[in-house]
Amino acid sequence: MADYAIGDLQGCFSEFSTLLQRVNFNPSKDHLYLVGDIVARGPDSLACLDYIYQHQDSITITLGNHDLHMIACYYLNKPINPKDKLSPIFKSSKLAHYISFLQTQPLAIELKQYNSFISHAGLNPDWSVKQALKHAEFAKSCYQSNTAKIFFEHMYQAHPVEWSSKLDDFEKFRYIVNYFTRMRFLTKENKLELDTKSAITNNDELTPWFKHPNINGIKHSIIFGHWAALEGKTDNKNIYALDTGCVWGNAMTLLELENKKIIAEKSHLLSK
């Protein structure tokens, strides 16, 4: 019995299946935690999603921005970006089942047996793990509700500048989703900055969320994806960046949760 976490799949099924073979993943006794963005940009998002759907009792996803965007496109009848290569999913007879399954998945989880916290983009330094899980549960109740379509309509509006009890439910939903699925840098005022996607720079105006002093007080290991430009490097032994840019020709990364062993599979895209 073993538990694993894997960084952003983004439709790279060949590398995903190879990693599972390399660790002899057995769905009957092992469990896999995917840190989000299982679809979009890669060559075979349908194969990734179908495998996960078929083995859903053995796989948990912390939803990423691409996953939520696909659900939103379904609900809002939005045209899909050709660059995302999602047409095979939207043409599938199982589409409604795939969407319903994704809506059962959380934005964040705590694995107490490994003293670990997992989400797509990381942990808001203003939140404790307990607070983050509470916020994630609220957002999940929104995208699972009978009014999910309305929440997805509001998901694309401007990010609230700061958290307040005066925010309405749509603004709270958007604030929470942005921190869990889009976060990279924070400003000097400790506000979310959503435009910069580069690796860490000497920019005095921006701080990577995991370099914020509050993160040093978190006793959990934090496991996340989303930020391919980091190339897996955070300079913090308790912060694991698992998006290593497979879809961009780099590698897909797996973390064995018990011993924190890392296994990387180089992208197969350049060899085809």
SS3 61: strand
Segments of the chain scoring below 70 in pLDDT: 201-202, 271-272
Total domain count, the chain:
1
Nearest to 86 by CA among 57, 108, 110, 66: 66
pTM more than 0.85:
yes
Can you tell me which residue has the tokens 């430009």? 229
What CATH number does residue 244 fall under? 3.60.21.10
SS3 233: coil
DSSP letters spanning 123-189:
--TTS-HHHHHHHHHHHHHHHTSTTHHHHHHHTTSPPPSS--TTS-HHHHHHHHHHHHHT--EEETT
Sign, CA dihedral 262-37-135-215, equals positive
- Give the range of the structural domain holding residue 234, as residue numbers without chain letter: 3-271
